[in-house]
Amino acid sequence: MMFAVLYATSTSIVLCFWTRQRFFNEFCDDLTKVQQHRIHPINMSANSNRKCHIVALILSIVFACVWMATFILEFLDYCIEIRKGNSKFIETLYKFVLNPIVYPLAAISTPLITTIYYLINRSINNELQDFNADLKDAVITNRLQNDTSLLAQFNNRHQSLVEFILKSNRQLIKPLLFGPLACVLCSANAVFVASAFENEIPMRDVSIYFFWIPCSIVTGVFNLAPPGHTQALLREVKNILLSADLHQDNNSETYSLYKSMLRRCDIDTRLTVCGGAAYIDPAYTAKVFWIGPNVGSLMTIVKKLMFPDN
């Protein structure tokens, strides 16, 4: 549970910083400026977040139930220990003073920051998807190759998108300092505790730990998958431009705009996790959450082999 509390605490601090620095207002203003470069009017149905809101509501209820169930079970278990005379001052302080504050706060902050973070990344990805669709359509219909003014519009729009992403990343990197690591460790720890100590832990506690496995994985995926998808969309921009084959164009202005967009595609816009320990790419989420739970399984096997009687 320490890792889940670490995630909730760190993300709560990030949320406070975002609010204090007026990140949400700035992001909405920058998003509006980027949307002004769109060729077609905004399709409200395509950009609707209704499904996300429904999923967020369901996950919020699940997370709140898991957090509070964990709190209640730990509280009841420690009450039993007190009756047996096994209480300790530090642990009593932790269970009766800190937990009643931390757990309800975590039950609220964890789904809240996860939802906000996901919706921000989704807004960025919506703009990239629309840009890629328009760019691909212009290439297929040969309008990009024959209309320098249209290419200039795409160049300006691409520049505003990249600048928007780079500016947003300065804030979006903050939840990734400890969040993904805490989620991975939480899933590994939940697998280990629920599997390796089945004879020592009551079944109700084991059930809670098994609930923490999907909760931590879902939280981690919501943190890592959207920025990974952003990188996939940015790579797609370069592939679309290369398919246009404008490097043989005799028009110097067209070639200049084309090269400008290609150079901009090589700008590193990747988010990092754990203070730069790794970069998030499209495959990063799958790799991380293949490793995380399996580390817990490996720890279980080692424990069984080394301490078969415990």
pLDDT at residue number 113: 85
pLDDT at residue number 199: 57
Contacts 24+ apart (CB under 8 A), 198-201: none
CA 210 – CA 213 distance, rounded (Å) = 5
pLDDT in tens, 62-86: 888 888 888 888 788 778 777 777 7
Indicate the burial class of 239 (C-beta count within 10 angstroms; 0-12, 13-18, 19 or more). exposed
CA 231 – CA 252 distance, rounded (Å) = 30
- Joined together, the tokens standing for residue 277 give 């320990």
Percent of the chain at pLDDT > 90 equals 18
Q: Residue with structure tokens 């690591």?
A: 181
Among 134-138, 196-200, 249-253, 293-297, the minimum mean pLDDT is found in 196-200
Query: CB neighbours of 212 closer than 8 A, spacing ≥ 6?
Result: 1, 4, 66, 70, 186, 187, 190
Q: What is the mean pLDDT of residues 267-291?
A: 79
| Confidence check: pLDDT of 93 > 70 | yes
- Joined together, the tokens standing for residue 58 give 């369901």
Q: What is the CA radius of gyration of the chain?
A: 24
Q: What is the mean pLDDT of residues 186-198?
A: 70
| Confidence check: pLDDT of 109 > 60 | yes
Residue 270 backbone dihedrals phi, psi, to 5 degrees:
-75, 145
What is the rounded average pLDDT for all residues in the chain? 81
Task: Output the pTM of the full model.
Answer: 0.84
CA 171 – CA 196 distance, rounded (Å) = 39
pLDDT in tens, 132-188: 999 999 888 888 878 888 889 999 999 999 999 999 999 988 888 777 777 777 777
Query: How sure is the predictor about 125, in pLDDT bands with cuts at 50, 70 and 90?
Result: very high
Among 170-179, 200-209, 290-299, the minimum mean pLDDT is found in 200-209
Q: What is the mean pLDDT of residues 8-19?
A: 84
Collapsed DSSP state (helix, strand, coil) of residue 278:
strand
Collapsed DSSP state (helix, strand, coil) of residue 300:
helix
187: region left, alpha or beta (phi > 0 left; psi from -120 to 50 alpha): alpha
- Joined together, the tokens standing for residue 231 give 């990188």
pLDDT at residue number 235: 92
Query: CB neighbours of 173 closer than 8 A, spacing ≥ 6?
Result: 271, 272
pLDDT at residue number 14: 86
Sign for the pseudo-dihedral over CA of 211, 213, 217, 220: positive
| Confidence check: pLDDT of 304 > 80 | no
pLDDT at residue number 114: 85
Half-sphere exposure for 124 (CA within 13 Å, toward CB): 27
pLDDT at residue number 31: 92
CA 49 to chain centre: 16
- Joined together, the tokens standing for residue 26 give 């700035």
The ranges assigned to domains in the chain are 13-42+117-306
| Confidence check: pLDDT of 274 > 80 | no
Q: What is the mean pLDDT of residues 203-226?
A: 78
